[in-house]
Structure 1
Amino acid sequence: MKNVLLVLTLLAMAPTTFSQSKNFLDVPYLETSARVDTLVTPDKIYLSITIQEKDSRGRKSVEEQENKMAQRLKALGIDIDKQLVIKDLSSNFKKYFLRGKEVLKSKQYSLLVYDGLTTGKVMAALEDLDIANTYLEKTEYSKMDELELELKKRAVKKAKQKAVALTDPLGQKVGPAIHIVDHSQPYYPRYNQPRMQTMAKMDMAEAEPLDIDFEKIRVETTVNIKFRLIE
């Protein structure tokens, strides 16, 4: 009998407890939202470079082209130990009339540079070496995490300022935030598709790389906040 009474008591208390937790926002409040954004210049530019053996009598080996490329990159001040990595090593098999089967090797690299001017110099150097199978792989901003946090802070402050502006004429004060929703979308690096054709040969005597930045990256943050109102 005592057990039955205990169960009935708990069941009677349950709706009250649920109601109290459900109605935690049953207080005067003001809801505001704010969005902030900024533009940043990418400082990590990744170039995809593919070196292939030349399909001709006097063909150059991958290793020979690789060494020449390394020398030119070093001359441009690039640390190839840190900025150049091999992505893929493959062999293409082709059959030739009266020559049997040959193996044409190719190597794919990823080169990291930090500004537009260096990118232009690298592309021009590779063209000069007849390594034209190159394209912009992706761009990034190295301090993206810190920037996103800073934008979130600015968005929250902006939402608070809007709340104060809305309640001041009413003689009310903005209390603590009772509900915050971050609607921001995480930033992902920009990836580019490889070109279907190699780049056109440049006239090195007439063209010099320009010191032009890459297209800026837009980063934005949006927050929605409910502030308690104080009479």
Structure 2
Amino acid sequence: MKKTFTLIALFAISSLMSQTKNFLDVSYLETSARVDTLVDPDKIYLNITIQEKDSKGKKSVEEQENKMAQSLKNLGIDIDKQLTIKDLASNYKKYFLRSKEVLKSKQYSLLVYDGLTAGKVMAALENLDIANAYLEKTEYSKMDELELTLKSRAVKKAKRKAEALTEPLGQKVGVAIHIVDNSQPYYPRYNQPQMRMKAMVMEDASTPEPLDIGFEKIKVEATVNVKFRLLQ
């Protein structure tokens, strides 16, 4: 049994060495290529926090929440699909000898699909005196499909480069014998809470005007390294 295992191990090592040698014996050309593009985000997430008002005419979180929900519906937003609760907290702000007052806050994530709607939402929130809102992150919904397209373009570009390098030598490019995908996966871009969005107030107007906000485009790229066999 021991001899059998030894023979199998020797055969595997010999086979590996033979494959390595054969690979090194092949004449090849190695090229790399990178392609990139810019796309507009079509998923825009707004972070909204509602806090209980600390005043004599205190407005509860629930009251503000209902008004916000109605305003969002008026903008054509499906709050069942686009609005989610992120955090619910109670902060103990004041303590008295006989009683204590609890001030609550509630955090939401709102998904919109374009800059104009985002601007209208910010204007509506300001009208409701809800100022604690900021742009949380932006995404592109067809990112997986786009990344595959770019990788395909990068491989084609690598082959064109190989053909350009071999043509002056009177050689031709054969099949690819080794391909490495060096692309970095795209991750959603998160913004810091202090990066707030504001609705612009016109000098001669009393209410904020919604903006058709142009968000920064998302840069996506793909990089490949390809070894092509050379034909005489």
Assess same fold via TM > 0.5: yes
Decide whether the 8 Å contact of 1:46 with 1:137 is kept in 2: yes
Corresponding residue SS for 2:24: coil
Aligned sequence identity (%) = 75
Provide structure 2 residue ranges, at least 5 long, that are not aligned to the other structure: none
Is 1:181 aligned to residue 180 of structure 2?
A: yes
Change (3 A) 1:230 1:194: same
Q: How many residues align?
A: 229
Q: What is residue 41 of structure 1 aligned with on the other side?
A: 40
Amino acid paired to 2:206:
A
Q: What is residue 221 of structure 1 aligned with on the other side?
A: 222
Spell out the pairing of 1:19-168 with structure 2 (5 A cutoff).
Answer: 19-23=17-21, 24-97=23-96, 100-168=99-167
Change (3 A) 1:196 1:105: farther
Shift of residue 170, structure 1, vs aligned partner? 1.4
Amino acid paired to 1:208:
E
In the alignment, the residues of structure 1 paired with residue 108 and residue 230 of structure 2 have an alpha-carbon distance, to the nearest angstrom, of: 59
Change (3 A) 1:57 1:200: farther
Provide structure 1 residue ranges, at least 5 long, that are not aligned to the other structure: none
In the alignment, the residues of structure 1 paired with residue 87 and residue 192 of structure 2 have an alpha-carbon distance, to the nearest angstrom, of: 17
Shift of residue 95, structure 1, vs aligned partner? 2.6
Q: What is residue 210 of structure 1 aligned with on the other side?
A: 211
Change (3 A) 1:181 1:169: same
Shift of residue 22, structure 1, vs aligned partner? 1.8
Shift of residue 212, structure 1, vs aligned partner? 3.1
Change (3 A) 1:82 1:10: closer
Corresponding residue SS for 1:20: helix
In the alignment, the residues of structure 1 paired with residue 200 and residue 38 of structure 2 have an alpha-carbon distance, to the nearest angstrom, of: 33
Q: Under a length normalisation based on structure 2, what TM-score does the superposition of the two structures give?
A: 0.89
Shift of residue 199, structure 1, vs aligned partner? 6.1
Q: Under a length normalisation based on structure 1, what TM-score does the superposition of the two structures give?
A: 0.89
Alignment RMSD (CA, Å): 2.7
Change (3 A) 1:206 1:4: closer
Shift of residue 26, structure 1, vs aligned partner? 1.8
In the alignment, the residues of structure 1 paired with residue 60 and residue 9 of structure 2 have an alpha-carbon distance, to the nearest angstrom, of: 82
Deviation by residue 1:112-169 (Cα, 9 ceiling, x = unmatched)? 0011111111011101100001011111000000000000000000111111111112
Change (3 A) 1:160 1:123: same
Shift of residue 105, structure 1, vs aligned partner? 1.2
